[in-house]
Structure 1
Amino acid sequence: MKKIIIVDDHPMMRKGLTSTLEMEPGFEISAQLERAEDAIDTIEKVKPDLIIVDISLPGMNGIELVKNLHFQYPNLKVLVVSRHEESLYAERALRAGAKGYVMKFEPSDVLLKAVRKVLKGGIHVSEEISEKLLLSAMTGKSTGLESPVELLSDRELEVFELIGRGKSSKEIAEQLHLAVKTIETYRSRIKEKLDLNNSTELVFHAVKWVESDGEG
């Protein structure tokens, strides 16, 4: 029996993932958690074979959690299942230590295929992302070179993407479970890192980046 932990801040998503995975013989959902910090505490007790992580979590976000897990438990297999576009986050998730990336809207069979592949020691991404990563390996350059992916922290990138999707600071704060003041601080850091002069330039570049699927 393979033990799986799910970390997602949406109860309905946790329930949906659990229902899908429990249809597969040999899978046991050992814990359903809302916060990254809870996962770190639970792993020692459960000793899971796989942990499924969302990117948008209250407090420590999913990419940060993946990094911490990879450092503390290098043999633990991690699969990111998120609503965030794979083209924007998959490479960063893999570099952090994840073994796969699946979009939340994908059919159940795609999720099950990814889980089985990761549990067997493989890496699961879509064919499109696989080609990008292969090109990156061949050229020796990151696919995100000279893009915000390389310049921003994990949380800054998340805020940048949401700005590019037309979200206000208040809406971003609500979605990420953070204070509006904190989001404004992130906006200031992003402008500084990307050498942008004002909020208009920030929105313009964020929208352009999202529309180009994070390629520049």
Structure 2
Amino acid sequence: MGCNVTETGKKGILIVDDHPLVRNGLARTVGQESDLSVCGLAESAEEALIAIKQHKPDLIIVDISLKGSSGLDLVREIKRLYPDLPTLVLSMHAEEFYAERALHAGARGYITKESPIENLLDAIRRVLNLGVYVSDAMAGKMLSRMSTGAKGDAGGFTEDVLTDREMEVLECLGGGMTTRDIAEKWGRSIRTVETHCANIKRKLNLDSARELLQRAIQWVQAGTPCK
């Protein structure tokens, strides 16, 4: 039984996001609903796992980009430790690049931060009711690929080629960020980001930083660049 259910009949939501304004704003929005209650807030994967034990939420909302770790790694860990606990990924990252990867990681839904509030609340309730949520447009793309037997693809390579962090690096580069910008955003060293760049070049058979940047720009043209 999740937090607050026996006392108020509301479903308890744990929100995991490393941006205080987003985290608190989302908490206010969810808290205004008669059937939902925010039972915990966390800004990292470590805090989230502790909060799950303390509050026993009914649903966890997870951002993909967490300081020091990937939100999708957290989704995988939650799925491993709590197979019946649903997660909904809420992110600024373009849906066509991450939705299927989030579902493969174990999430029950994916929604972008640019979506209307009513869509977010619909996503929460659908996942709580054991459904799966992606936008209608994304659902159509996924069904189309299933009918043709094609794998998810963006910019000429399948989604399984790069790690979660490498995908984020590529998107950020395509959105105009430098390696220094990315390092500061994540709280990591420039060398760490450069290592990700080297791995991306190797996996995509790119010979230079210029080719990497060109590929990154092409990749984000259909989506939302990293901010």
**Structures share fold, TM-score greater than 0.5:** yes
Confirm whether residue 56 of structure 1 aligns to residue 69 of structure 2. Answer: no
Of the structure 1 ranges 10-19 and 41-50, higher mean CA displacement relative to structure 2 is found in 41-50
After TM superposition, list the pairs within 5 Å mapping 1:1-216 onto structure 2: 1-144=10-153, 147=157, 149-213=159-223
The amino acid that maps onto 1:107 is P
Cα distance in 2 between the residues matched to 1:35 and 1:148: 28
Unaligned runs of 5+ residues in structure 1 are: none
What displacement does 1:26 show? 2.2
In 2, are the aligned partners of 1:6 and 1:14 still within 8 Å (CA)? yes
TM-score by length of 2: 0.90
Of the structure 1 ranges 15-24 and 35-44, higher mean CA displacement relative to structure 2 is found in 35-44
In 2, are the aligned partners of 1:148 and 1:194 still within 8 Å (CA)? no
Cα distance in 2 between the residues matched to 1:179 and 1:149: 26
What displacement does 1:57 show? 0.4
1:82-120 Cα offsets, whole Å, 9 max, x none, are 111111111111111111111112221111111011100
Percent of residue pairs identical: 43
Runs of 4+ more than 4 Å apart? none
In 2, are the aligned partners of 1:37 and 1:60 still within 8 Å (CA)? no
Of the structure 1 ranges 101-110 and 183-192, higher mean CA displacement relative to structure 2 is found in 101-110
Cα distance in 2 between the residues matched to 1:6 and 1:188: 34
Report SS of the residue matched to 1:102. Answer: strand
Cα distance in 1 between the residues matched to 2:153 and 2:53: 35
What displacement does 1:137 show? 2.2
Unaligned runs of 5+ residues in structure 2 are: 1-9
Report SS of the residue matched to 2:69. Answer: coil
Quote the RMSD (CA, aligned, Å): 1.5
TM-score by length of 1: 0.94
Report SS of the residue matched to 1:3. Answer: strand
User: Quick one: structure 1 residues 63 and 74, their matched pair in 2 at CA, closer, same or farther if it must change by over 3 Å?
Assistant: same
